[in-house]
Amino acid sequence: MALTISPIPAFTDNYIWALQNAEGQVYVVDPGDAAPVKTWLAERQLTLAGILITHHHKDHTGGLDDLLALAPVPVYGPAGGHIRQLDHSLEEGDQITVFGHQFDIMETPGHTLDHIVYFHPGSDEADDPPLLFCGDTLFAGGCGRIFEGDPPMMYNSLQRLAALPAATQVFCAHEYTLANLAFAAGTDPDNGDLVERQATERSKRERQRPTLPSTIALELRTNPFLRCHNPSLQTAVQQRVSRELDTGLELFTALRRLKDQA
């Protein structure tokens, strides 16, 4: 049975992802604010069945208490000890099942030390593609800031996500796409796929549509943080920072520093 996946906008640029089954039950991912979730459920006469958390930042966890007061549902999240409402702590290699769909847990430290992502490998069925709920590790056209980890951690985490199947649908937690692609265009000026993507995503936002989900294939073509072995990108970034960048990690570190300063 296919999942219906919907974005619930929150704050100025967050998405709380809702996974719905045919019986009207819903899991939500990273509910930083309970109010839009409660409104969304009530308008559709749906029932909250569970909560998935990727990391401990408040804009991803701030709605937990109010939602649990509404319904005492299971809460899954990283086993870092930062989220008191968890009753299912998850680590690398764990698996959970959401409405009959298996999700593999991957640890992706960098943004926070205990960040996890939820990956559903999909199947041969047309309505069951691979799915990735990646919080603030991978963004459309970018990646998360490094708050608790270090560049090697984040680089390795992104390399793992880059190796997922190309058809994987990428559900990140923020509508940062246009700003990310503007930065990407400045660092990867000869990338025709990136120019095309900017036009496509700008058109979506002009019609007040989300730019998400993305796909791993699209990110590999247009996201500089997943293209750190691309020669033309390497040349362009070396010119900007006025030094040689001999490894993918060195290029990633320079890119992340440039983005932090943008």
**Taking Cα atoms as reference points, which of 248, 256, 189 lies closest to residue 222?**
189
Integer CA distances (angstroms), 244 to 190, 203, 240, 255, in order:
19, 37, 10, 13
Active site annotation includes 150: no
Kindly provide the b/e burial profile for residues 108-135, where b requires at least 16 CB atoms within 10 angstroms of the residue's own CB.
bbbbbbbbbbbbbbbeeeeeebbbbbbb
CA distance 63 to 122: 29
Q: Which of 30, 56, 60, 115 is catalytic?
A: 60
262 confidence band (pLDDT: 50, 70, 90)? confident
Q: Determine the pLDDT at residue 36.
A: 98
Give 52's pLDDT tier (boundaries 50, 70, 90). very high
Domain ranges for the chain: 4-261
Q: How confident is the model at residue 128 (pLDDT cuts 50, 70, 90)?
A: very high
Q: Which of 33, 55, 56, 188 is catalytic?
A: 55
Biggest CA-to-CA distance, the chain:
58
Q: Is 82 a catalytic residue?
A: no
- In whole angstroms, what is the distance from residue 186 CA to residue 199 CA? 15
What letters, b where the CB count within 10 A reaches 16 and e where it falls short, cover 163-180?
ebeeebbbbbbbbbbbbb
Clarify whether 120 is annotated catalytic.
no
Task: For domain 4-261, give the CATH number.
Answer: 3.60.15.10
Please, are residues 212 and 15 in contact by the beta-carbon 8 Å criterion?
yes
Active site residue 111: yes
pLDDT, residue 126, reads 82
pLDDT tops 70 at residue 1: no
pTM for the full predicted model: 0.97
Supply the mean pLDDT for the chain. Answer: 97
pLDDT of residue 152: 98
171-210: pLDDT as tens digits: 999 999 999 999 999 999 999 999 999 999 999 999 999 9
Report the distance separating Cα 81 and Cα 36, nearest Å. 27
Tens digit of pLDDT for each residue in 54-91?
999 999 999 999 999 999 999 999 998 999 999 999 99
Which position among 30, 120, 174, 188 bears the catalytic label?
Answer: 174
Over residues 133-186, the pLDDT tens digits come to: 999 999 999 999 999 999 999 999 999 999 999 999 999 999 999 999 999 999
Active site residue 136: yes
Q: Which of 57, 101, 115, 120 is catalytic?
A: 57
